[in-house]
Amino acid sequence: MLEVKNLSKSFGNYKAVDDLTFTIDKGQIMGLIGQNGAGKTTTFRLILNFLQADQGEILWNGRHLSDKEYNIIGYLPEERGLYPRITVQEQLIYFARLRGKTKKEILPKIDEWMEKFQVKGKKSDKVKTLSKGNQQKIQLIATLIHEPDLIILDEPFSGLDPVNAELLKDGIMDLKEKGSCVIFSSHNMDNVEKICDHLIMLNNGRAVLKGDVHEIRESFGRTKVFLESDLTKDEVAQMPGVTSVIEQDQRYLEITVDDPAVGKTIFNQATTEGYIPMFNQQPPTLEEIFKMKAGDRHE
């Protein structure tokens, strides 16, 4: 279990992390979100002891992290870095040995992980001969191959196409099932929503949202209605409590209301003639909540 307690870090007069507290239990995934400069990467560097905190503490299973315990961490920095002139196999063995693993332990796993991430290339290929996407996969494998207990991923989906992003999600979920704690940052709210158990949103170094992803969304109320019926956009827009109506591809209406109770009024009006193809009332998406909170500088 990772515990971060009252963590703060300033650079001159700029407070990058401000009294941050959270816990990640074994087998849980936490998303750390926020605008550029919100404090996400600084938080990772404090956990990894790359930076010294001004105050607060970081505990792993109730104890401060020792040099030995840093070997159980897998870290993928936002700024990737590989050695282009050595082979894939040499690369992976080198990084694993930095984490206390032996060549004998890692060598049998290389083929398995290259197959898992569908790397186009051989382990005997030099890294510089691989495409950019496959180089990124090698960096991901180097982060995960020693099956760390704590995984820190800084923008892991950056530059990945949807197929390869799905492969990464599968790799993260496999390690979660084995009990790893995972914390990652991402600007892709869809990825955060799909795989995270919990999230924290930072704004100017402070946590402005924290908790279970589903509960956070529900706390904003079911103010989004998706409607396919005989009602026109103009008819819906004139209803009391409707704040906006967007027609999506001339197939259905995306409606925002100021009170979830307005959804019942819309439903009753839409179903006066009976069956309608679609009525779905949901809370705002995580991306919409992100935009709302990121714009609030006074939280």
- Amino acid 180: pLDDT: 92
Instruction: Kindly state whether residues 260 and 199 are assigned to the same domain.
Output: no
* Domain of residue 182, CATH code: 3.40.50.300
Instruction: Kindly state whether residues 227 and 154 are assigned to the same domain.
Output: no
pLDDT tens digits, residue range 157-212? 877 788 888 888 888 888 889 899 999 998 888 888 888 999 999 999 999 999 99
**Residue 294 pLDDT exceeds 80:** no
Cα angle value 86/90/96 (rounded, 5°): 130
Instruction: Kindly state whether residues 169 and 72 are assigned to the same domain.
Output: yes
Q: Is position 233 within any domain? A: yes
**Residue 131 pLDDT exceeds 50:** yes
Q: What is the CA radius of gyration of the chain?
A: 23
Q: Which domain holds residue 243?
A: 221-282
* Domain of residue 261, CATH code: 3.30.70
Instruction: Kindly state whether residues 197 and 115 are assigned to the same domain.
Output: yes
pLDDT tens digits, residue range 27-78? 999 999 998 889 999 999 999 989 999 999 999 998 888 777 778 898 988 7
**What are residue 57's phi and psi, to 5 degrees?**
-145, 155
Over range 233-257, report the average pLDDT: 94
Q: Take residue 111 and report the two structure tokens written for it.
A: 């083929």
Instruction: Kindly state whether residues 109 and 48 are assigned to the same domain.
Output: yes
Ranges 90-99, 261-270, 289-298: which has the least confidence: 289-298
Number of domains in the chain: 2
Last residue of a domain, one of 164, 184, 217: 217
- Amino acid 42: pLDDT: 95
Last residue of a domain, one of 217, 243, 268: 217
* pLDDT category of residue 295 using cuts at 50, 70 and 90: low
Instruction: Kindly state whether residues 45 and 66 are assigned to the same domain.
Output: yes
Q: Is position 297 within any domain? A: no
Instruction: Kindly state whether residues 18 and 94 are assigned to the same domain.
Output: yes
In this structure, are residues 154 and 44 in contact, taking their beta carbons and an 8 Å threshold?
yes
Q: Which residues of 243-282 are buried (b: 16+ CB within 10 A; e: fewer)?
A: eebeeeeeebbebbbeebebbeebeeebeeeeeeeebebe
Cα distances from 146 to residues 53, 95, 121, 167, 212, in angstroms, run 28, 9, 21, 18, 29
Last residue of a domain, one of 189, 217, 245: 217
pLDDT tens digits, residue range 6-15? 999 999 999 9
**Residue 297 pLDDT exceeds 70:** no
Instruction: Kindly state whether residues 60 and 180 are assigned to the same domain.
Output: yes
